[in-house]
Amino acid sequence: MKVTVKLFAAARDLAGGDQLTVELPGGATLGELRKRLRQECPSLGPLLAHAMFAVDATYVSDDAPISPHAEIACIPPVSGG
Amino acid sequence: MVKLTREPIDTASLVDAAQSPEAGAVVLFLGVARRLTNGRETTELAYEAYEAMAVKELQSLEVQARDRWSLAECAIVHRLGVVPLGEASVAVAVACPHRREAFEAGQWLIDSLKERVPIWKQEHGADGRTEWVHPGRTNVE
C-alpha cells in the first residue's frame, strides 16, 4: 500500500517537501513506516529518532497498524509556547 | 476556548472575558518572543502548526483542566506565523474561585502545551541563520 506522511518544521525542510509517500506491505505498523522513511530519506534519520507519529490527528505508538486511508503525520519534537 | 491565530493576541480581551463575579482569581500567562536565547540574539520568531491536530490537542487540554480544577474560564490562544520580539506567541487565561487553583491550572496548561501540542518555533537569528527548535535534537539545519 502507498502511505503518505505529512511533514512539518525541520522534517519538511530536510525532506524538501511537506509530504513523503512510501510503499509498505499491507498491515504494516508505524514502526515499519519509521524505518522505511529513514531508508527513503536518510537526512531525516536523526530527527526521526526523536519524532512521534499521529494517525488522524491522534498520537500513536510504533506498534499501531497503518490504514491506507488514514492521515499520517510525522511530529518532530514540539516547541510551541 | 482555544484558538490559533495569525494576528497579534488581544490579551486585554482575554482578561476581560475571564473576569466574572464567580471567579476570585484570574491568571494570565503570556509567552513572549525573547531577544536572547543562550547568548544568541534572535530578531524574530516564526511558528507553524499541524493545525487540525493542534486545535484538537488544545481542546483536550482544556477538557482535562476543567475536569481537574473548577475553572470559570479557560482560554488558550497560540499565534502562528512571524511573531516580532516583545509580542506574545501564546496566552493562557484561567479564572477560578481561588488563586491557588488558578496558578496551578495555568502552569499545568502551559507546561502541557509545550510538551504535546504540535506547534513548532523557528528562531531567526541576528546572524542571519534560521533554526527550527526541536527539543532533544540540535543542529538540525
In order of start, what are the domains of chain B with their CATH numbers?
A: 2-133 (3.90.1170.40)
At residue B139, the pLDDT reads 44
* Domains of chain A listed by start with CATH number: 2-75 (3.10.20.30)
Find the CB nearest B120 among A6, A54, A78: A78
Q: How many other C-beta atoms lie within 10 A of the C-beta of residue B93?
A: 26
A with B: how many residue pairs have Cβ under 8 Å apart? Answer: 90
Tell me which residue of B100, B75, B90, B79 sits closest to B14, measured CA to CA: B75
pLDDT in tens, B20-39: 999 999 999 999 999 999 89
Residue B122 sits at the chain A interface (C-beta within 8 Å): yes
Give me the count of residues in chain B: 141
At position B98, the amino acid (one-letter code) is H
Dist CA B66 CA B68 (whole Å): 5
Residue B31 sits at the chain A interface (C-beta within 8 Å): yes
Tell me which residue of B65, B106, B80, B97 sits closest to B8, measured CA to CA: B80
Q: What is the pTM of this model?
A: 0.95
Dist CA B90 CA B80 (whole Å): 9
pLDDT in tens, B48-75: 999 999 999 999 999 999 999 999 999 9
Mean pLDDT of chain A: 95
ipTM for the whole complex: 0.95
Give helix then strand counts, H and E, for chain A: 3, 5
Are A1 and A24 in contact by the 8 Å Cβ rule? The answer is: yes
Residue of A nearest to B110 (CA): A81
Residue of B nearest to A13 (CA): B141
Least Cα separation, residue B1 to chain A (angstroms): 17
Give the pLDDT band (50/70/90) at residue B136. Answer: confident
Least Cα separation, residue A2 to chain B (angstroms): 22
pLDDT in tens, A1-33: 999 999 999 999 999 999 999 999 999 999 999
